[in-house]
Amino acid sequence: MHANHRLVEGRRGGALLIALALLALGAALLAGSAEAARSAARSVQSHEAALLADAESRVAVAEFMAGWNHAADSLPVGAGLVATIGPRHRGSSAASIVTRLRLHRLSPTRFVVAVDCQVGPDNAVLARRRLQLLLERPTRPDSTTPILPPAPIGRWSLADLY
């Protein structure tokens, strides 16, 4: 009996040590799952911002082309025009989107429109999309037909800028 008593005395605190180890493991698993959830939320926010930037840049180009005016038509060759659209609030988190358009006249019949769409404030940009659109004024069959606004050139007139 004396030998059994020594075994019990030698094991004192073992259950406490195992309980502390299990608590530490639980805390590590909890911290890891919280970090994984935070990382997944950031990934979803970044993906949504990229989609918003892409869609908003195309909308801005379409709105600019639909509202083509005489100010754009009267630019001399080599001159440019800058317009800012926004801030607009879009998406599930109502992210602030600012789009800057730059029109530049290349020749009497050709123009280029550069678009820079930024999602998020200047100090914490979530996504950015830059596009360039080449435009050409269609030729008029005679001088009595109205002057038409320029249209995109061919198949590859819209290009991504990085």
> Per residue in 2-16, pLDDT tens?
555 555 555 677 778
Phi-psi region of 161 (alpha: psi -120 to 50; beta: other; left: phi over 0): beta
Tens digits of residue pLDDT in 133-159: 888 887 777 777 777 778 788 766 666
Task: Look at the block and give the residue holding tokens 């320029």.
Answer: 150
Rounded Cα distance between 81 and 71, Å, is 9
pLDDT computed for residue 78 by the predictor: 85
Q: pLDDT digit string (tens) for 84-137?
A: 887 888 777 778 888 899 999 888 888 888 999 988 888 877 888 888 888 888
User: Which two three-digit tokens encode residue 9?
Assistant: 């005395």
> What are φ and ψ of residue 44, in 5° steps?
-65, -40
Amino acid 8: pLDDT: 54
Instruction: Give the pLDDT score at 34.
Output: 85
Q: How confident is the model at residue 17 (pLDDT cuts 50, 70, 90)?
A: confident
CA 90 to chain centre: 11
